[in-house]
Amino acid sequence: MAAHRHRWQVLLFLVAIILPCVVLVVLGLRMVAQERELAEKRLADGRRSLTGQLRQELSARLDRTALRQATTLRSEPGRALLRAYQDPAVALVATVADRHLVLPWERDPRSTRFRRSLDQDRFARLVARGEHAEIVLRDPDGAIGTYSEALAAASDPAQATWARLLRGRAALAAGRRHDALTDYTAVLASGLDIVDEHGVPLALYAATRLLETGGQREAVVDAVRRTAGGPRWLSPTALYLLRDLGRRLGRAADTAEEQSVRDLAHAIDARLARSEQAIALQRDFPRLRLEVGGGPSPGAEARWISYGTPAWLVGRAAALGGEGEIVVAVWADSLLPSIERAVVPPSGVSGQLAMASGDGTDGERLGDAFPGLVVRFGSPAAASEPGWGVRRWFYLVTLVLVVSVALFGAYLVSRDVRRELRLAELRSQFVSAVSHELKTPLTAIRMFAETLQLGRALDPGTQTEYLETIVNESERLTRLLNNVLDFSKIERGKKQYRRSPTDLAEIVDASARAMRYPLEQQRFTLTVAVQDGLPPADVDGDAIEQAILNLLANAMKYSGDSRVIELRLTRADGQAVIEVADRGVGIGPDEQGKIFDQFYRVPTQDNEGIPGTGLGLTLVRHIAEGHGGRVSVASVPGQGSTFAIHLPLGNGDA
């Protein structure tokens, strides 16, 4: 029955406490998870927005650049020959003709002018004659004469410079070094802007010769530097020649000059690299499948691809005036950082534009318009979620708090329930105990009374004995009923003590007298010791007697084989102390605190055979405390117990 109920209680407990706790924890965890999801979503949104901004900005910048180059090309075609465009990020602007890329140096009008100039009838004939004398007839002196004629007949600087170059060569062949140097020096001075059909400035040929003959080193260095540093694109042929010159100069340089010559070589290498990248682009161009976009139609999305190392962003745009298309290449390295600077990233997000590394795992693609570009995001900073850490702690602490409060409440409830359960159990035991206790004296009374009623021949001694037994058992019954009634009064809070000045010695004597018969019957020796001169106490005499009787009855019940009980009344510390001492079974230290609880009986084998209700000591304590006193016990198991009621004494005549 109890176990069954207990199981129900556990179930109820689970449902009422644990379930809400679990639900709470699950809800809390869900909330945390949702917060995190939200943060992730916010981050993803932020990244998408940043990517969009970068794409837009980049697209706008590149389109603007392309448009500006197209405009410039239309208004100043000569500009295309210059390496430095208005926009320093532009690496190359080339036109498209017949689906082929035309590189800047390929449309150099100076080359065309040079060819046309040299092809002039009279000059061309004189040059042909001079070359015949110099190369076929091996007559350098004759050639010098003819070249001088050509020089005199020259109608423009190109012809004059060319004639000097040829005459210098013939002079060298004729062994007239001085004359040759004079001619070459003149070419060096004037020929920087005169370019042959290979795009090579004539001055560079003169410089090569001068270097071979060991003259005019300073002028050579100067010409090389001016050519290399010039604003125009140079043809690859010119650049290779320039590089060759630069190397030769470097080999012969003294320490003072070394650094500047090395810088010069670097500059030439850089130009060569850029030209080579342009040539590679020209070669690959038909395969690149670049869409025409940007340019004059704003809003049209240009398609920009990355090309080469260092990376160029190459795009194709319509040229203005319906004249085909242009291709614009932009240095990615110099453009991308400025794009990043122009964008305001959403809070908590940071990202960089970068070239895709092929495997595509290194960032988010910028979009179809920019197949070679990705955005690399910085790891989300902790600061990106201000308060999230605090909030999370708040959740956790609240959760722990709520759960612990719930569990604590559950513990209290379960403790109460357990106590209630035990009490109910004790109460039911009590009912059977009381019934049992009532039965014994009633049986005795009835038996003796019936015997007397039959009026059998009984001697007067036996008759008296029977009557005494009946009286005695009735008294026991009365005591028992008093206990039960008092207890019920106490429980209902209705117990009142009618106090009046009372001589405690009399109460003690009365108690001893009341118990005389049962004590005698069970052959107990009761020693009563009363200290003289105690003042009367303000007590309810009946209640105090009831308490002493309870203690004496206990002493008899729990004496075991001992037959000695002492009853004492003394005075200590201004209090009256009534002691009942036995030499019986005693009480273990653990039990001493519990025996005063209602219905409590020490659960030993011996006690089970002894009738009792567990109310006697409860009443003793209540009576003592009801008089402003207390009850105490001193006991050693196997040696006996001493119970003491301490009562305050009126200061009366003390």
Instruction: Name 195's Cβ contacts closer than 8 Å, sequence gap at least 6.
Output: 108, 110, 111, 114, 201, 202, 238
Q: Tell which residue, 562, 554, 540, has the closest CA to residue 614.
A: 554
**Can you name the residues that pair with 306 across neighbouring β-strands?**
313
Count CB neighbours of 269 within 10 A.
13
Helix axes 157-173, 140-153, angle to 10 degrees: 170
Q: Which is nearer to ligand ADP, 161 or 641 (CB)?
A: 641
CB of 515 to ligand ADP, least distance (A): 14
Instruction: Name 483's Cβ contacts closer than 8 Å, sequence gap at least 6.
Output: 546, 550, 613, 615, 616, 619
Segment interacting with ligand ADP, rule: CB under 6 A, options 215-223, 326-334, 378-386, 613-621? 613-621
642 forms part of the interface with ligand ADP (CB under 6 A)? no
Q: Which is nearer to ligand ADP, 49 or 429 (CB)?
A: 429
Ramachandran category for residue 497: left, alpha or beta (phi over 0 → left; psi -120 to 50 → alpha) = beta
Q: Tell which residue, 438, 497, 523, 520, has the closest CA to residue 619.
A: 497
Q: How many residues in the shown chain lie near ligand ADP by CB under 6 A?
A: 22
Residue from 191, 372, 541, 612 touching ligand ADP (CB under 6 A): that is 612
CB of 592 to ligand ADP, least distance (A): 9
CB of 638 to ligand ADP, least distance (A): 10
Segment interacting with ligand ADP, rule: CB under 6 A, options 63-71, 126-134, 164-172, 612-620? 612-620
Q: Are 168 and 184 within 8 A, CB to CB?
A: yes
Residue from 613, 623, 627, 647 touching ligand ADP (CB under 6 A): that is 613
CB of 435 to ligand ADP, least distance (A): 14
Q: What is the spatial distance between Cα 576 and Cα 293, in angstroms, rounded to a whole number?
A: 116
Q: Which is nearer to ligand ADP, 308 or 612 (CB)?
A: 612
CB of 487 to ligand ADP, least distance (A): 10
Q: Which is nearer to ligand ADP, 392 or 557 (CB)?
A: 557
Find the helix or strand (DSSP H, E) in which 147 lies. Answer: helix 140-153
641 forms part of the interface with ligand ADP (CB under 6 A)? yes
Q: Are 57 and 340 within 8 A, CB to CB?
A: no
Residue from 46, 614, 626, 629 touching ligand ADP (CB under 6 A): that is 614
Q: Which is nearer to ligand ADP, 228 or 631 (CB)?
A: 631
Instruction: Name 564's Cβ contacts closer than 8 Å, sequence gap at least 6.
Output: 524, 525, 527, 582, 583
CB of 520 to ligand ADP, least distance (A): 19
Q: Tell which residue, 384, 379, 347, 348, has the closest CA to residue 363.
A: 379
Q: Which is nearer to ligand ADP, 553 or 647 (CB)?
A: 553
Segment interacting with ligand ADP, rule: CB under 6 A, options 1-9, 19-27, 184-192, 610-618? 610-618
3-state helix, strand, coil in the chain (%, to 5): 60, 15, 25
Residue from 213, 350, 482, 607 touching ligand ADP (CB under 6 A): that is 607
Q: Which is nearer to ligand ADP, 159 or 554 (CB)?
A: 554
Q: Which is nearer to ligand ADP, 555 or 576 (CB)?
A: 555
Q: Which is nearer to ligand ADP, 159 or 613 (CB)?
A: 613
CB of 574 to ligand ADP, least distance (A): 27
Residue from 555, 569, 623, 649 touching ligand ADP (CB under 6 A): that is 555
Query: DSSP 3-state assignment of 578?
Result: strand
DSSP 525-552: EEEEEE-TTPPPEEE-HHHHHHHHHHHH
Structure tokens at 53: 């901004």
275 forms part of the interface with ligand ADP (CB under 6 A)? no
Q: First CA to last CA across the chain, in angstroms?
A: 59
558 forms part of the interface with ligand ADP (CB under 6 A)? yes
From residue 497 to residue 536, the character string flagging contacts with ligand ADP as x (rule: CB under 6 A) and all else as - is ----------------------------------------
Q: What is the spatial distance between Cα 98 and Cα 100, in angstroms, rounded to a whole number?
A: 5
Q: In the range 575-604, which residues lie near ligand ADP by CB under 6 A? A: 582, 584-587, 595, 600-602
Q: Which is nearer to ligand ADP, 74 or 489 (CB)?
A: 489
Q: Are 641 and 635 within 8 A, CB to CB?
A: yes
CB of 555 to ligand ADP, least distance (A): 5
Positive or negative: CA dihedral 262, 264, 267, 268: negative
- Residue ranges that bind ligand ADP, judged by CB under 6 A: 554-555, 557-558, 582, 584-587, 595, 600-602, 607, 612-618, 641
